[in-house]
């Protein structure tokens, strides 16, 4: 949610930020609704003050046994109560109903990009910051993961059970996915100080609103018949752990990690990545969330990105770091770094992690705050990132560690998590 005070102070800057996102100016409409809301609040306060004054006078009139005056005052109070009820119900030109309209408008508008975010309308405007690792040179034509996975990557079973964009991993691939997640969790908790959480996978409207999945992305989500939402990412559960709280600055930063299934309709990806595991309705991810102060948030962003990079470094998977342009960032993000891993079967770098700084955009929606050392209360800054998408990491291991006979070597750092196994034989993948 946007800070209405900042919009009042500099409406031009607000519109300029939206323009970088490809959105038409909104400040005039925001300020119009804000003015009506404030006028409505003033009218309410004035009527409430008058009601209280007249109620006191009724008591004085009754005490003086002036029944005529008491009845007249009571009639006036009733009229005021009716006017208050109308205003509180959203009637009239200046009423709290304008507050709902203002909230609806502000909640539909994305965060503004940071000054160092490049301009651009889509992924073609993203800027490559660096490459790490050298892609392997193969002496055979490398295959894509859905061919390598064989019967252990059972898309037919997934389709029979649930439809398109589902898969059943079996045997060695199920074990490999579990090993990857355990490796990531150990790295983030033991070396980067994240606290592991097993969070709820079903959340209420308020939680989805808090991290901005609602209302704008309602159609991309899965909802149960009794109104719960399946989380599209553990970011929702982990970030909302501090909703409606005031924390002490000394407790910050808070860093959480979780390995969960994630559920998305992928409605915006029709026709893209229809083969394989790249884009599924259900997938596993190890999520990273940080909650901190405005002063430390940008350093925390670099730290979080480094934690996600370390997974790729230790698995010896080549990757590149991209700074997303204003038009390609997620709705809540102020700045995003994407990690893209090299997939030799596709001959391309593909996203495996997004690490975003959201400043106080989500915290305002959650009413999540902290009290600084001087006693003042501020909104938290929130950050989130994939550390990593487990299924995509499995894809990257299959494609980068494949051998000419279809077997898969196990990365050295992963062997302790998979019982010391050095190779997944091609025959195991065909069973």
Cite the active site residues. Answer: 264, 279, 351, 354, 392
The Cα 136–Cα 19 span in angstroms is 42
Asked if residue 262 has a cis previous peptide bond (ω within 30° of 0), the answer is: no
Cβ–Cβ under 8 Å, residues 408 and 401 = yes
The Cα 114–Cα 334 span in angstroms is 5
């Amino acid at each position: 949610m946007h800070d209405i005070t900042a919009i009042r102070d500099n409406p031009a800057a607000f519109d300029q930020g939206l323009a970088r996102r490809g959105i038409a100016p909104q400040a005039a409409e925001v300020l119009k609704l804000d003015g009506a809301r404030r006028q409505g609040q003033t009218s309410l306060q004035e009527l409430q003050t008058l009601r209280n004054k007249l109620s006191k006078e009724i008591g004085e009139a009754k005490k003086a046994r002036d029944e005529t005056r008491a009845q007249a005052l009571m009639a006036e109070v009733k009229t005021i109560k009716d006017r208050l009820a109308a205003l509180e119900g959203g009637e009239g030109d200046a009423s709290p109903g304008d507050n709902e309209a203002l909230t609806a408008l502000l909640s539909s508008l994305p965060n503004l990009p940071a000054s160092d975010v490049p301009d651009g309308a889509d992924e073609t405007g993203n800027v490559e910051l660096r490459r790490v690792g050298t892609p392997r040179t193969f002496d055979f034509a490398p295959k894509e993961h859905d061919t390598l996975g064989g019967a252990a990557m059972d898309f037919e079973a997934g389709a029979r059970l649930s439809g398109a964009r589902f898969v059943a991993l079996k045997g060695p691939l199920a074990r490999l996915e579990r090993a990857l997640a355990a490796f990531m969790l150990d790295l983030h908790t033991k070396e980067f100080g994240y606290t592991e959480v097993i969070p709820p996978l079903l959340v209420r409207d308020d939680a989805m609103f808090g991290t901005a999945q609602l209302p704008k992305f309602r159609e991309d989500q899965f909802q149960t018949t009794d109104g719960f939402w399946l989380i599209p990412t553990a970011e929702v559960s982990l970030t909302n752990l501090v909703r409606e709280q005031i924390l002490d600055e000394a407790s910050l930063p808070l860093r959480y990690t979780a390995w969960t299934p994630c559920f998305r309709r992928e409605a915006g990806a029709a026709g893209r990545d229809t083969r394989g595991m790249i884009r599924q309705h259900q997938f596993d991810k190890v999520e990273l969330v940080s909650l901190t102060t405005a002063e430390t948030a940008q350093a925390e962003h670099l730290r979080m990105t480094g934690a996600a990079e370390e997974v790729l470094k230790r698995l010896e998977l080549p990757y590149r770091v991209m700074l997303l342009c204003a038009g390609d960032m997620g709705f809540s993000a102020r700045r995003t770094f994407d990690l893209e891993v090299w997939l030799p079967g596709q001959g391309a770098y593909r996203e495996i992690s997004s690490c975003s700084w959201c400043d106080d955009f989500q915290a305002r929606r959650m009413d999540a705050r902290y009290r600084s050392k001087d006693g003042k209360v501020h909104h938290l800054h929130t950050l989130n990132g994939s550390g990593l998408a487990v299924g995509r990491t499995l894809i990257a291991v299959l494609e980068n560690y494949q051998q000419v006979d279809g077997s898969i070597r196990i990365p050295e750092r992963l062997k302790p998590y998979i019982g010391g196994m050095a190779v997944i034989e091609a025959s195991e993948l065909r069973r």
